Amino acid sequence: MAKKKNKKKLNIAVVGVTGVVGESMLECLLKRRFPVDELRVMASHRSAGKKIKWGNRNLTVIEASTDAFAGIDIALMAVESDQSKLFSPAAAKAGAVVIDNSSAFRMDPKCPLVVPEVNPEAIRRRPKGIIANPNCSTIIMNVPVWPLHQVNPIKRIVVSTYQAASGAGRPAMEELEEATRAWAKGKKFTPKVFPYHLAMNLFSHNSKIGKEGYNTEEMKMVLETRKIFKDSKIRVAATCVRVPTLRAHCESINLEFSKPMPEKEVVKILRKAPGVQILDDRDKNRSPQPLDATGQGDVFVGRIRQDISQPNKKGIEIFIAGDQILKGAALNAVQIAELVAAQ
């Protein structure tokens, strides 16, 4: 997505800076040449005093607190929901625009839920001063689905996710690496971050299952998509699975459109869509893989084909891959910050 130039430098805070998403937020700010004046980096008391190199600046991590946001223009939150519920309102009260990566405010009707390629206009109305970053799987799905929905309204989405360890943060990534080494050596390994062995295995996403039988991750995709699309009638069914890959999520998506949707039209639309790259070679059976998306800001789309179970040609199947840490979290937040800075 093209960045708007803005010469005014802003005071930025990154909370949770020592986590994998917080670190990536810093990288995105630097690589995208965000107009930063002061950069205030915060984390828990355990990380206070740690030194961080950012470009030609040497930063010192301070302990996050509710009174640490004076003079901040934009606060990027990369902390858990309980911490965000404490720090985000405090930052907003101090005058900052808060961009929160947790689930704390996503379904709050007074907080916009934003994917810049989909609904950038939503940032204009934020009575609480907080903008929510959607769930990683929701973001990655909606970047390619939205431009199709604009041309031919989608009635139903059935999605199955293949989610990397990165979705649970650095400790989960480290556990997968350690467990894989143990498996290769035939050693016993007891998981601590995940409830089950992830190395050489997969299991249903490790979030709480509700009374309807869907886990929390699956319901996020349902409810958040409806809010982002401003379409309460769109039907979404999700199955979220944790798989033994280190970074980048994949998703198998079945779309039912309002009217016939030729495969060639889908390809034509996605070739022009912001934040999308097509990777689809049938002759070589080559489609998006986690390694393709790792470290990349775009969502890769392949396996584009007509759903042969629907004779009316209203169905399309696609397979996608996106970096959960970047577009699924840090990059999306920084893109929102760019929109705020350009206002």
Phi and psi torsions of 79, nearest 5°: -130, 170
What is the distance between the alpha carbons of residues 202 and 77, in angstroms, rounded to a whole number? 30
User: What distances in angstroms separate CA 203 from CA 221, 241, 305, one per listed residue?
Assistant: 18, 6, 27
How many C-beta atoms surround the C-beta of residue 235 within 10 A? 13
Selected catalytic residue, list 111, 149, 249, 250: 249
DSSP bridge pairs for 74:
12, 97
Annotation marks residue 28 as catalytic: no
Tokens of 274: 């912001």
What is the distance between the alpha carbons of residues 303 and 310, in angstroms, rounded to a whole number? 17
Annotation marks residue 45 as catalytic: no
Q: 227 by DSSP, 3-state: which?
A: helix
Closest CA relative to residue 137, chosen from 157, 155, 121, 122: 157
Q: Are strands 130-132 and 97-100 parallel, antiparallel or unpaired?
A: parallel
What is the distance between the alpha carbons of residues 211 and 69, in angstroms, rounded to a whole number? 40
Q: What SS3 string covers 119-176?
A: CHHHHHCCCCCEEECCCHHHHHHHHHHHHHHHHCCEEEEEEEEEECHHHHCHHHHHHH
What is the distance between the alpha carbons of residues 59 and 41, in angstroms, rounded to a whole number? 7
Selected catalytic residue, list 28, 136, 240, 250: 136
DSSP string of 254-293, one letter each residue: EEEESS---HHHHHHHHHHSTTEEE--BTTTTB---HHHH
Q: Which residues are catalytic?
A: 136, 249
